[in-house]
Amino acid sequence: QLKTDVLDEIEAIEEVLKDLSYLKNNLDLDKIDNAQKAAIGTFLMNFYVGVENIVKRISKEYYQTMPKGNSWHKELLDLSYTPPQGNNPIFSQNIVNRLNPYRGFRHLFVSGYGFKLRLELMTSLINNIEFLWTDIKNAIEEFLDKLQT
């Protein structure tokens, strides 16, 4: 069941990335309005939340633990590369370091207003997302393969 849930989440993330790619290729990022900025922000947040959902599911089912408290988002990501003794990590520290700006963006997006989103930050996140996703997806596939052996 864990593998099925993770694969469903991967599908959803890939749909988000298609939509984000469409916007990237069809908008002049230097001349977007607040509604377009909010749409891009939504997709960036959805990407991170999808990855976090995968880590949450694995943490609950496989690691048998789930961080609590104010910094649980950060602790959950840390758990993905430093799991409880005897468990396989999902990600490398490098992947987590590259995911942290998306975690920070999620916080800004949820806690702020769309018209205050900084285009420079979003552009940087958009430009790095495809390579990051490839590495994340490969790491998840390797993790799932280890569970089956």
Tens digit of each residue's pLDDT (9 = 90 or more) over 71-88: 999 999 999 999 999 999
Q: Tokens 């769309």 map to which residue?
A: 114
The enclosing H or E element of 95 equals helix 93-111
* Averaged pLDDT, 38-51: 95
**Does position 114 have pLDDT exceeding 90, yes or no?**
no
Average per-residue pLDDT for the chain: 93
Q: pLDDT grade, residue 6 (50/70/90)?
A: very high
pTM for the whole structure: 0.93
What residue type is assigned to position 16 of the chain?
A: V
* Averaged pLDDT, 88-93: 97
Q: Tokens 């590259």 map to which residue?
A: 98
* Averaged pLDDT, 86-98: 97
**Computed from CA positions of residues 133, 113, 73, 94, in that sequence, does the dihedral angle turn out positive or negative?**
positive
